[in-house]
Amino acid sequence: MAEIINSDEVFREKLENLSDFEFNTKVAGVFDDMVSRSVPFYDEIQRMTSELAGNYAQSGTNVYDLGCSTGTTMLLMDKTVREGIKFVGIDDSEEMIIKCREKLENFILNRDIELLVADLTKKVPVENASVVVMVLVLQFIRPINRLEIMKKIYNGMVKNGVFILIEKILTEEKSFNREYIGHYYDFKRRNNYSELEISQKREALENVLIPYKTSENINMLQEAGFSEVEVFFRWYNFTGIIAKKL
């Protein structure tokens, strides 16, 4: 069954009372279009994530997608990870989990996938994990909670397991930040977002999406216990990091 992808028009009209961005029913319904038009090389990032997951997933362990949204990452990993390895998708948005379940039902999968609604700031239900991925998720978690979550993820992983982190970032040198953001907004314009849509979403995200520098993310992962940390993707203010537990 072909999946119908609805067009993102969340910020198309002028909103008089602009509230903070949230992953509600309206966003969940257009999320796949929104993220593909808002994240540079999104398809390639997903492909790389699934390839790396296939490299490191171990028989008899679990693979976790934390902040799984509509399940795109798990669908791709299902093709690269050998059968017999359990997938668990977790999101704190019930609307996203509902959309994810509906989406997965359109595909023939190589395994059962468990879906959970959970707030990672309260509980990190990761255990016996050889692969844990967070694709554009940590940036939405309050900074004060991030290190503790990383430590709990690390503690729930097996030896030689990997954590894959995709994030929007700040530049190391402030002088480059404005230029990179300018190029990012050009990218959104090329994907048919209007000036109004760009400005309204920027304002809605202002107190919700709080990016770190790449160095801050790496230091945090090392402090959590990960021994080997490597950047595997970079486009202006987006990055992909893989961290291994030895």
pLDDT tens string 101-139: 999 999 999 999 999 999 999 999 999 999 999 999 999
pLDDT tens string 181-207: 999 999 999 999 999 999 999 999 999
Domain-embedded: residue 14? no
Q: What is the CATH number of the domain that holds 96?
A: 3.40.50.150
* pLDDT of amino acid 182: 98
Domain-embedded: residue 81? yes
Domain-embedded: residue 166? yes
pLDDT tens string 227-243: 999 999 999 999 999 99
Domain-embedded: residue 195? yes
119 is in an annotated binding site: yes
Please state the φ and ψ torsions of residue 117, each to the nearest 5 degrees: -95, 120
- In this prediction the pTM is 0.96
Overall domain count for the chain = 1
42 is in an annotated binding site: yes
Domain-embedded: residue 7? no
Domain-embedded: residue 65? yes
- Report the DSSP beta bridge partners of residue 242: 164, 230
* pLDDT of amino acid 3: 58
* pLDDT of amino acid 30: 97
202 is in an annotated binding site: yes
Q: Which domain, by its residues, includes 209?
A: 25-244
68 is in an annotated binding site: yes
SS3 content of the chain, % helix, strand, coil (to 5): 40, 20, 35
Domain-embedded: residue 19? no
Rounded Cα–Cα distance for residues 161 and 56 (Å) = 6
120 is in an annotated binding site: yes
Rounded Cα–Cα distance for residues 87 and 207 (Å) = 32
Domain-embedded: residue 77? yes
Rounded Cα–Cα distance for residues 242 and 46 (Å) = 13
pLDDT tens string 1-49: 445 678 999 999 999 889 999 999 999 999 999 999 999 999 999 999 9
112 is in an annotated binding site: no
* pLDDT of amino acid 203: 97
